[in-house]
Amino acid sequence: MFPLTGWLPVVPALLLVLSACAPQRAAAPEPQPAQPQAAGAKTEYPTMTLKFNHVVARDTPKGKAADKFAALVKQKSGGKIDVQVFPNSELYKDGEELEALQQGAIHFIAPGTDKLGVLIPAWEAPVLPGIFLSEEAGDKFVEPGNAVAKELLEKLREKGLLGLNVWLNGFKHFTSSKRALINPDDFKGQKFRTSGKPDEAFVKALGASAQVMAFSEVFGALQQGVVDGQFNTPSNIVTQKFHEVQKYGTVSRGGVILLYAVATNAKWFDSQTPEVKKLLSEAMDEATRFNNKVAADDNKAGWAAIKASGRLELREQTEAEAKAWAVAGDQVLKEWEARTGKEIIEKLKALNNKG
C-alpha cells in the first residue's frame, strides 16, 4: 500500500484515481493442518526446545525415564528437538506444575496420578489401597496401550491435557521418627506427610493425622518435626535422604502403589506435524518400557542403601499385620467408590487376575 503521510494536500480526485488503480489485497488464506512428508523422503524436524518438569531426583525410576525420553527424542530428531529435563522441582513444585502445563509454560510433566484427581477424580483410583495386590498387576496397567490406562488417559482431554503413558515406581512404605509401625494403634498420635487425598484418607483410617505437602518440602518437615513420618517408595526415600531423619521403617506387603501419569498440553501437541507427533509418541513408549524395567531394580537398590546406612530400624510386615492394615484400606476403598466410580475400581482390580 502507498503511505499517506505527505499526500494530504493532494486533490481528492487524484486520490480517487490512485485508489481505483491500486491492486487489491487478497484475503489471507485459512491456515492448513500440517501435511505428512512424502513417503521415502528424509524427515526434517523443526528445531525446538521443550521443557519436562518433575519433582523427584534424577536417579529415581521417573528421573531416569524422563532423561531416557529426552535422549531418545534428541537421537530420533537428529539433534533438532531438545527436551530439557528439570528434576527436583527446579521449575515447579508438584502443586504448581499442572497449571504450568495447562498454561503452556512447560511441555511435559509426570505427576503422581493422585495429583490429577483435582481434574479427574477417577485418576485417584489406581493408587487407592488394595487396588493392586502385586507389582505384576501394576506392570499390566502401565504397559503402553493397556485399555484401562488408555481410558483414564483419554479423560485428560476434557481438561486440555493429553495423557501419554503411565509410569510405575512401586509400593509405598511408612517411616516414622516416633515409633515402629506394626499395628494400626501405632499410628495414633502421629502426623504423616501425604501426597494427596487417597493417602490422606488411608493415614486417617489407620488412626494418624495427615498433612498434604509438596514433595520438595518433605525433608525439611521431617527434619524439623512438622510431621512425624512419611509414606513413599524406597527409591524416593533414599534419594531424598528421608531415612536420615527418621528412626523406624515398615516394609509393607503391598497396599498402595506409586504411579505417574505423563502428560502434555493437548493444544500444543495437536499443533505439531505428524512426524513430530510420531517421534514423541514412539520415544515415550520406549521410555515407558525402560521405566517399568528399572523401577523394581531401583527400589531393591533403595532398600539395600537404606539398610547399609544403619539409620532406620526396619521391620518386615507379617501377613497378619498386613491384614489388619487392609481393614483400613478397605474402608477407604468403599468411601472412594462414589468419588471415582465403582466401574473403574473393578476394572483396575481385574488386573490382579493371572493371565
C-beta of residue 153 within 8 angstroms of C-beta of residue 163: yes
Quickly state the pLDDT bin for 254 (edges 50, 70, 90): confident
Residues 153 and 266 occupy one common structural domain: yes
Residue 225 lies in a domain: yes
Measured between alpha carbons, how far is 58 from 226 in angstroms, rounded to an integer? 26
pLDDT given at position 4: 33
Residues 106 and 53 in one domain: yes
For residue 13, tell me if it sits in a domain. Answer: no
Percentage of the residues of the chain whose pLDDT score is greater than 70:
88
Asked if residue 26 is part of any domain, the answer here is: no
Enter the pTM of the model: 0.87
Residue 287 lies in a domain: yes
Say yes or no: 265 and 322 in one domain: no
Residues 276 and 335 in one domain: no
Report yes or no on 62 lying in a domain.
Answer: yes
Selection from 285, 287, 273, 290 nearest residue 80 by Cα: 273
- Here the CATH number for the domain that contains residue 188 is 3.40.190.170
Q: What is the DSSP string of 266-325?
A: HHHHHTS-HHHHHHHHHHHHHHHHHHHHHHHHHHHHHHHHHHHHT-SEEEEPPHHHHHHH
- For residues 16-30, give the mean pLDDT: 37
Q: Residue 32 — very low, low, confident or very high, per pLDDT cuts 50/70/90?
A: very low
Looking at the domain assignment, is residue 282 inside a domain?
Answer: yes
One domain for residues 117 and 265: yes
70: CB partners within 8 A, 6+ apart: 52, 82, 83, 84, 85
Mean pLDDT of the residues in the chain: 90
Q: What is the pLDDT of residue 352?
A: 96
Cell numbers at 284, concatenated: 515415550
Both 63 and 211 in one domain: the answer is no
Handedness of CA 235, 238, 242, 243 (dihedral sign): positive
Do residues 98 and 217 share a domain?
no
Does residue 250 share a domain with residue 316?
A: yes
pLDDT at 9 over 70: no
Task: Say yes or no: 188 and 244 in one domain.
Answer: yes
The verdict on residue 27 lying in a domain is: no
Which region among 27-31, 257-261, 273-277, 349-353 has the lowest average model confidence (pLDDT)? 27-31
| pLDDT score of 40 | 55
Please check whether residue 10 lies inside any domain of the structure: no
Q: What is the structure's pLDDT at 174?
A: 98
**Residue 331 belongs to what domain range?**
173-256+307-352
Same domain, 252 and 264: no
Query: Which amino acid appears at position 73 of this protein?
Result: V
Query: How far apart (Å, rounded) are the C-alpha atoms in residues 14 and 64?
Result: 72
Span 255-291, pLDDT tens digits: 999 999 999 999 999 999 999 999 999 999 999 999 9
In the block, cell 497378619 appears at 320
Q: What is the pLDDT of residues 293-339, one digit of tens each?
A: 999 999 999 999 999 999 999 999 999 999 999 999 999 999 999 99
Do 146 and 220 fall into the same domain? no
Give the whole-angstrom CA distance, residue 125 versus residue 106: 26
User: How many domains in the chain?
Assistant: 2
Considering the domain architecture, whether residues 284 and 158 belong to the same structural domain is answered as yes
